[in-house]
Amino acid sequence: MFDRRKFKDSFIRNLKIEFGKTLEKSNKHEKYYAVSKAIMEQIIEDWSETEETYKKGKQAYYLSAEFLMGRALGNNLLNLGIHKEIEESLKDLDIDINLMEEIEEDAGLGNGGLGRLAACFLDSCATMNLPVTGHGLRYRYGIFKQKFIDGFQVEEGDQWLKHGDPWSIRRVEDTVMIEFADGKVRAVPYDTPIIGYETKNINTLRLWEAEALEDFDFHLFNEQQYDEAVKAKNRAEDISRVLYPNDSKKAGKILRLKQQYFFVSASLQDMIRKYKKRAGEDLEAFPKYHAVQLNDTHPVVAIPELMRLLIKEGVNWEKAWRITQETFAYTNHTIMAEALEKWDVQLYKELLPKVYEIIVKIHQQFLGELKEKKCAEETIKEMQIISEDRIHMAWLAIYGSHTINGVAELHTEILKNQELKDWYKLYPNKFQNKTNGITFRRWIALCNKELTQLITELVGTDEWISDSNKIKELEKHIEDEAILKRFLEIKTLKKSQLAAYILEKEDVRINPDSIFDIQIKRLHEYKRQLLNAFYIVDLYYRLKENPSLDILPRTYIFGAKAAPGYVRAKAIIKYINEIAKLVNNDQDVNDKIKVVFVTNYNVSYGEKLFPAADVSQQISTAGKEASGTGNMKFMLNGTPTLGTYDGANVEIVQEAGEENNFIFGARVEELEAIKDSYNPKKYYERVPGLKRAVDTLINGTFDDGGTGMFQELFSALLEGTDWHHPDHYFLLRDFQEYREAQQRIDIAYQDRISWAKKCWMNLANAGKFSSDRTIKQYAEEIWKTEAKQIKS
């Protein structure tokens, strides 16, 4: 039972304790901090009891380099079921809860789908009372804050902790030591509560921060060598300073390896220490109590590190290897070979010599097994964990884990039949599929309250928020025009809200009555933002030639960050911003088309973009996107997919019907058949309008600031490079079909009720894509863990 007086007293007390201020004299950030701390007081006993309850059985641990959590306040109030009570309590104090939610900084702990998936999974684990703890790094600055200067992406430090972090507790008593060849550092854990929906269980995200053994060298400081005095402190803190530091040089590679080993070793030491307190010195039963999920290859160094720690504890090699294999499972998130991590042997030798010795022994053991099985020499060569002075982390993960899973049905089949076919032949029982999912709490209940209310009214209960299959009941209203019109009214409202937000943030005025065509995701060539851009250029020229061209007004919205060292991705951002400058300043066309590249796309921006979208662009090259989860967020908010037959798009179409989406482009099998003979110049020269659009990269239409980056994009498309074929991601091959799909959208959108039916069928069939379903499968089929609900 929520106690309004108790909450207010706690709020006022926290203002005084933390800031020495009264309500009247405190600023908005201080009020937000005190509100959050007051809520922490409400949950602390349940959090402690959850931890004690979970200790009694097997627990799972989710190791991930990223956790893209988003803002905590609104989501926590929703899950606790006290949003209205807190809103009214704050109103009594003349505080607007919306202001409190808006000023919160997004935690800078992730970048893209990998980290957001991890966040959704933690939400689902807590909601389902599953004993799961997340482990990662507490980045002080996250990846970066994105700005545009003259259309170029500019990175700035993301100081998400500048106003403090009321949602984490520093657990200095659980500090562990991490040893590198060049010295030791402390790993200090910070615990953040993960609040489940309509349950008292509170799970934990444990993030490790790096600290020096000594803050500064007093002797050097006294000798007035001030920089040298804090050098060790700075080098230690670098480990948890920035997510994915640029690794174009050796120093960056060493820092990345330090990051991976640091949080992995700290997490495993933590597990072993707690196990010994509970079960004694015999570590043979370790897998009975621990299931460790490796989220991609970043934490795969955990396999040799657990071996090292077990051997250090006196466990022999054979027993340690059995324990290790029974403990770990590995999620593969990519089909692309270049994205599977490979580390230079020399870096491991220099930084982690003891771990490297373990990897060598694992490598030799695996070679012996392959020879025993009479594998062909060519197969053995392809599967070696250490090859050409590089350590193949994915191969180490597969050999050292009991289960390997893909993240969509198509992805898993490609792994089994193409990319990892030798491994699948060797270990067929290790491979599973676990199609990704999203949490319905954040991605509709929190960010689209109006649609949530309509669904609850029609389903007759709000149980669909935690039992996603119930949303299927919406299908019976498919012919009810009154309901469909209410849906369209909600969509219009969300579009108006987004338009107002974009005007405030980007200083760009967009038409809420236009089609909102949205592509928001990490910037990567295979995601083909450039295909979208070429289409807009082509449409612009067609409008210039024929101003009376019969099209509906369209607003193209992009959101994406390019990795700091990914020059070609940054060139695509600059190109799109150049297109926006041209289109938005041309009075002949800007009542028909507008282009916006939103700044610093993150979870909180996404919460406004997903509900407002009319078109969900999921246009990756077939066979390249493992799953995608943005496609699911759009679907859940009633948005049809414009996409290729790729990743989870395949399953979205299976659930909602291809007639309710807009699928185009070559499929995996076709691309596989043509990849060696593909000539993009054929399409460049023959597809009407395509050459004109592509040539804008080099003919002076757009300015790349003298960098040459547009010329490089052009050359990569038509000539290729020494590391890939021309038009590696088949943009030119799919351009015509993409244009036709866009034209189908224009026609379909004009019949508003027919369009609403497409949207409604997507919404009604989104149930499969709940992360609750995904996590239930992980728990039952991989981790072998059971729900444990606290009693209070």
Q: Which positions are catalytic?
A: 333, 521-522, 527, 629, 633
Residue for token digits 């899973």?
405
What is residue 559's three-state secondary structure? strand
Amino acid at 96: D
As given in the structure block, the two tokens for residue 489 are 């009214």
What is residue 63's three-state secondary structure? strand
**What whole-number distance in Å separates Cα of residue 778 and Cα of residue 77?**
27
**What whole-number distance in Å separates Cα of residue 756 and Cα of residue 759?**
5
Could you tell me which of 394, 324, 335, 405 has the C-alpha nearest to residue 358?
324
DSSP codes joined into one string, 362-415: HHHHHHHHHHHTT--HHHHHHH-SEETTEEEHHHHHHHH-SEEEESSHHHHHHI
| 3-state DSSP of 265-323 | HHHHHHHHHHHHHHHCCCHHHHHHHEEEEEECCCCCCHHHHHHHHHHHCCCCHHHHHHH
What is residue 708's three-state secondary structure? coil
Neighbours of 629 (CB within 10 A): 23
CB 645 within 8 A of CB 625: no
- Strand duo 386-387 + 390-392: pairing: antiparallel
- Strand duo 554-559 + 593-598: pairing: parallel
Amino acid at 328: F
Task: Give residues with Cβ within 8 angstroms of 345, minimum separation 6.
Answer: 356, 386, 389, 390, 391
DSSP class of 162: T
Residue ranges of the alpha helices (H) in 595-648?
603-612, 630-636
As given in the structure block, the two tokens for residue 402 are 């009991």
**What whole-number distance in Å separates Cα of residue 648 and Cα of residue 716?**
28
Residue for token digits 């992360």?
771
**What whole-number distance in Å separates Cα of residue 4 and Cα of residue 89?**
6
Could you tell me which of 790, 786, 619 has the C-alpha nearest to residue 131?
786
**What whole-number distance in Å separates Cα of residue 160 and Cα of residue 104?**
9
Neighbours of 708 (CB within 10 A): 11
As given in the structure block, the two tokens for residue 537 are 């250029």
DSSP class of 620: P
Amino acid at 727: D
CB 770 within 8 A of CB 437: yes
CB 106 within 8 A of CB 603: yes
As given in the structure block, the two tokens for residue 200 are 């008292």
Could you tell me which of 785, 705, 758, 753 has the C-alpha nearest to residue 124?
785
